[in-house]
Structure formats: C-alpha cells, structure tokens
Chains A and B, each alone.
Chain A
Amino acid sequence: MKDVSVISQRKGLSYEKAIESVFFISALLMVLSVVLIFIYIFMEGVPPILKIGLGPFILGTQWTPTYTTPQYGILPMIMASLIGMMGAILVGVPIGIFTAIMLAEIAPRPVTRILKPAIELLAGIPSVVYGFFGLTVIVPFIRVQLKSPTGTGLLAMIIILAIMVIPTIVNITENSLRAVPKEYKEGSLALGASQIETIFKVTLPAAKSGILASVVLGMGRAIGETMAVIMVCGNIPKMPQSLLSTVSPMTATIAKDMSYAGPFHRSALFGIGVVLFVFIILLNLVLNLLVRKASR
C-alpha cells in the first residue's frame, strides 16, 4: 500500500499527510478527554477530602452539610451504593445468564425474534423512565405489601437496578457463549451428554471469563446509575439497617445536592465523585484483567 502513495504526486502526498494527522488528533482527543475528566474531578474533589480528613470523610456516618456545624461523612452512601450493587448483581446476573443461554443455545427462531429486540429495548429505555416506573409501581407495591412507611429504599433500588443490569449481562454473556468453539459442544454431545448438560458443564465453563466480564460491567452500571436510583431510594443518607431502609447512594446524593449546595458542600460532592471514580477505576482494572484472560 505504501508504494501506491509514493506514485501519487508530491502535493497530493502532503495533503494526505495533513488529513492523516487530523484522524490521529481526533483519536488523541479521547485520551485528552479521559485525562481532563480525571484531572478536573480530582482537582475539585481531593482538596475538600483532605480538609475534612480522609478518615472522617470515608468512615464518618453523619452527612449534615447544611447544619451550622456541618459533618461530611459518606459511609452510609458508600454502603448504600455497595449493597445496592451487590443486590442488583445477585438478582440480575442469574436471570441475565439464563436469558443469554436461551438466546445463544436454545431459542427457536420465533423466540429470538421477540427476545432479542426486547433486550435491546430494555437497554435503550432511559434510566429516568426506569426510575419513574419504580416510583409509580414498585415503591407503592413495597409500601402496601411490606408495610414500609414510604416504600422507597434499598429494596426498591435493588429491584430497579437488577432489571437495568440484565441487558448488559445478557449481551456480553451471549457473545461469549457464541464464541465457544463448536468442537467443544460437539465433543460433549458425542460423548452422550444432553444439550443441557453440555451447556452447563462445557459451554458455560468455557465462557467463564466473558461471563465474569459481563458481571463486572453490570457492577459498574449499577454503582454508577443515578436517575433511576434517585427516584426510588428515599434520598436519606442514613446507614442502611434493613432492606426497607431509606438510603441515598453516592450517585443520588451528588445529583440531589448539586441543585442547592453552597460552595464547600459542592466541593464535598466532588469528593464523593472522587470516591465513586475510584470504585469505577478498580472495576475497570478487574475488567481489563478478565478481558485479557478471555482473549488468551
């Protein structure tokens, strides 16, 4: 391909070079964006954490930024985020994996025709619509059936998040199931295993790292979700006592408080952003390890 461009005239060549560097700079803009996001969030969020003290900030249990002697402890939010995430994964992952098995291995054509667009639609529905559905259906259901005073809280949050992570789990698990070499399945079937035995004893183990990657991605989606959660969690940053406790995870606190926060309160919200960011970076590191393992 090199030779061809040599044949072209000099003028054309420098023009080609210029365009090529435009492409290159566009690609670099993404690197620049990541760097900028990282720098600006940390620049704004780290100073307030240092001022409050890392210990009191992360392990403090009182969040009272509007009091005369304000306290900025975010442990209740971290707990709410983590429990919400775990709950969503516990409920959403099995459903997602079974649905992915259906799509990749079992579904007859008509079923695929319904299931596939349904998953795509679930993935596309705005999070604020999920939140609204949670607010008008799930919250009243919990209030009436489980006799919780408001119906909002951890349980409602977990249910909504579980539904929201299903598309992520299904898509990536389905892809990794499909990537398992046919010979594995054929070998297993030839040895007399049934279709279901083959799926659970051969295909699923072979797709393990892909499935784990989907779980990690789902975790990222759950811990970062904001608008769906803000409408069902109750927005009270207290330590969760039970599944019915009203809570306020990190994302919801940031989004809710930003609208009225004073200067230092706002900086503290960026501090929460830093903590959330650190969680996301950790998840991404795990994800990278898994993906590398899967490609090997």
Chain B
Amino acid sequence: MRRRRKMKDWILKSLIWFCSLLTVLFLVWMILYIVSRGLPGINWAFITTPYNLFRNQTGILPMIVGTLLLIVTTLAVAVPIGVAAAIYLTEYARQGRVVRMIRFATESLAGIPSIIYGLFGYIFFKNTLHLGFSVLAGALTLSIMVLPTIVRTTEEALLSVNPSYREGSLALGATRLQTLFKVILPSAIPGIATAVILSMGRVIGETAAVIYTAGSVAKIPAVDRLLTSSVRTLSVHLYMVALEEADFVSAFATATILMIIIALLNLLANRFARKITDRQGMA
C-alpha cells in the first residue's frame, strides 16, 4: 500500500516537472530557432533603409516608424481615458448598477478577439467616420483594445496606495481632488507605467486588428499627414513577407526584432512591478 502511494506521488511529481520543463524548453527552442536565423539578417542598413521591392530594398525603417506612430497615438488616446476610468472606479464610484455595467463592459472588451476589433475598426473608423486606412483609424481601434489592460492595471496600482497617505492628506485639509493629484496618483505612477508598457506590447504584437484599419503601406508617412496616412507595423510586415513575399530572410529578422522588443518590455514591466511590491512591503 505504502509503496503504491509513493509510486503515485512520484509519477505525478514527475509529470509536474515534465510539463513545466516542456513549457520552458518550448520557449527556448522557439527563441533560439528564430533568433539564430534572424540575427544574421539584422544590420544597420536593415533598420535604417526604406522598403522598396522594385529597387531591391528590404529595410524596415518605414515599419519601425509606423509602429512607433501607432504606439504613440494609441497611448495618447487610451492612457488618459483608461487612467480616468480607473480613478472613477476606485475613488468615486459607489457599488451599483452603473459600476457593474462598466465592469461588465471592461471584461467584455478584454474577451473580444482581435479580428472582431479589426472588422469593427474597418466598418466604423475607416468607413463610417471616413478615416480611411490610417494611423488614426488603427490607433482608435487599438485604444479600445488596450483599455481593459490600462484600467485594470491602474486600478490595482491605485488600490495598492497606502490608505494612510490618503487619510493624512485629507486630514490636512486637502480636497479629494488635491489628494488624488498630489498624493494618490504620484504613488501610483509605477503601476500606470506598467499599464503603458503592457499596452505597448499589445500594440506591437497586434496584427489582425491593425491590418484592416491602419492598412499595410510600407512607406514613411509625410510629416503633414502623419495621422492620416496608412502605415505598416512590424507585425503586419512579418505576416506580409512570410506569407505573401515568402522572403524568409526579412521574416526571420523581423520576428527576431519583435521578440527582442517584447523581451525588453517584459523586463521593464517586471522592474516596475517589483517597485510596487517593494513599496507594499514597506507599508
């Protein structure tokens, strides 16, 4: 009996180790495979020249510019709205039907697949609002997509602010709003920064919602038409060169760059997250 119990324990424990190992090994395999084939294709010319197949130029500068434009515009729209919504939910809202509705909406937005966002952005922002394939249409679509992330992360950060800060400020005669802007928000900044980084990751990685809203034009937009031009992001570029051009050299190099960016963003997000837990530890 005892031996059978031990046997069972041993089998389950090995399964746990095996599955964890499998997950890590898979990631390592994927990274090594893509990076080892991608790195040789990455050089100064690759990231600083335009993309023009007729002139045999396969640089990704327009995609870098396009991705950055999309990130900045999306964050400019989504961060103020998301942070404000999180402030409402944590500082002002009283539990009730309205708050339940807002929470339900946030959860629903998080669950909608990106291709549905793409269809919506296409029909609403591109067609109905006549924005065409443009940075603006793409950024507005992506803004809705990243809102749940921003709201949730900011909410957590606001809730983790030590209540004695708030009480102290209010006791000193500061108004609710002064307390919010001078005490609560500054201490929630690492959390908001995490929200921003997570959103950047989503914008960079998104393809299905971008390709039919921001389009796929591989050109650097003119300075006076930054927001109204169609751009191609790095992810969209990877899709296009891999599936339509079958240019695997560019594809591996682009995939490698995407992996490096995501890894760096993760590192950064972890650093901020550690800051938050450190502070909680002190409190």
Contact = CB atoms under 8 A, between A and B. Distances in A.
A191 interface: no
Contacts of A251: 113, 115, 208
Contacts, number: 246
Nearest to A250: B115
A226 interface: yes
Given A127-B207, A225-B113, A273 B9 contact: no
Interface stretch (B58-66, B198-206, B218-226): B198-206
Given A23-B92, A117-B266, A284-B108, A270 B17 contact: no
Contact of B205 (A117, A125, A199, A283): A125
A200 to B, nearest CB: 6
Nearest to B265: A124
A125 B92 contact: no
Interface in B84-132: 84-85, 87-89, 91-93, 101-102, 105-109, 111-120, 122-124, 128
Contacts of B147: 29-30, 33
A184 interface: no
A125 B259 contact: yes
B262 interface: yes
B248 A136 contact: yes
A231 B91 CA distance: 45
B23 interface: yes
A132 B242 contact: yes
Contacts of B72: none
B262 A231 contact: no
Interface residues on A, range: 35 or more
A12 interface: yes
A112 B212 CA distance: 40
B27 interface: yes
B205 A127 contact: yes
B212 to A, nearest CB: 6
Contact of B208 (A26, A107, A227): A227
A9 to B, nearest CB: 9
B47 interface: no
A83 B147 CA distance: 31
User: Which applies to chain B's interface (DSSP): helix, strand, loop or mixed?
Assistant: helix
A126 B235 contact: yes
A276 interface: yes
A223 interface: yes
Given A1-B176, A30-B106, A126 B206 contact: yes
B113 A280 contact: yes
Given A8-B175, A94-B19, A118-B24, A23 B118 contact: no
Interface residues of B, number: 85
A99 B19 contact: yes
Given A16-B177, A102-B20, A258 B259 contact: no
Nearest to B88: A23
A172 B65 CA distance: 36
Given A31-B101, A34-B105, A102-B17, A231 B24 contact: no
Given A98-B20, A135-B242, A231-B243, A128 B207 contact: yes
A127 B173 CA distance: 51
B165 interface: no
Interface centre among B13, B89, B204 (most CB of A within 10 A): B13
B175 A5 contact: yes
Interface in B157-186: 170, 173-177
Nearest to A44: B123
A15 B114 CA distance: 39
Interface string A9-24: 0001001100110111
A104 B119 CA distance: 39
Contacts of A129: 34, 205, 235, 238, 255, 258-259
Interface centre among B9, B22, B112, B242 (most CB of A within 10 A): B112
Contacts of A195: 9
Interface in A271-296: 273, 276-277, 280, 283-284, 287-288
Contact of B26 (A41, A111, A163): A163
B118 to A, nearest CB: 7
Contacts of A276: 113, 115-116
A124 B23 contact: no
A98 B265 CA distance: 27
Shortest 9 CB-CB distances between A and B: which pairs? Answer: A224-B113, A126-B205, A98-B19, A26-B84, A23-B88, A27-B85, A226-B208, A102-B20, A196-B9
Interface of A: 1, 4-5, 7-8, 12, 15-16, 19-20, 22-24, 26-31, 33-34, 36-37, 40-41, 44, 94-96, 98-99, 101-103, 106-107, 111, 114-115, 117-122, 124-129, 131-133, 135-137, 163, 166, 170, 194-197, 199-200, 217, 220, 223-227, 230-231, 251, 254-255, 258, 269-270, 273, 276-277, 280, 283-284, 287-288
Interface of B: 5, 8-9, 12-13, 15-20, 22-24, 26-27, 30, 33-34, 80-82, 84-85, 87-89, 91-93, 101-102, 105-109, 111-120, 122-124, 128, 144, 147-148, 151, 170, 173-177, 201, 204-208, 211-212, 235-236, 238-239, 242-243, 248, 251, 255, 258-259, 262-263, 265-266, 270
7 contacts: A23-B88, A31-B101, A102-B16, A107-B20, A124-B266, A127-B205, A227-B207
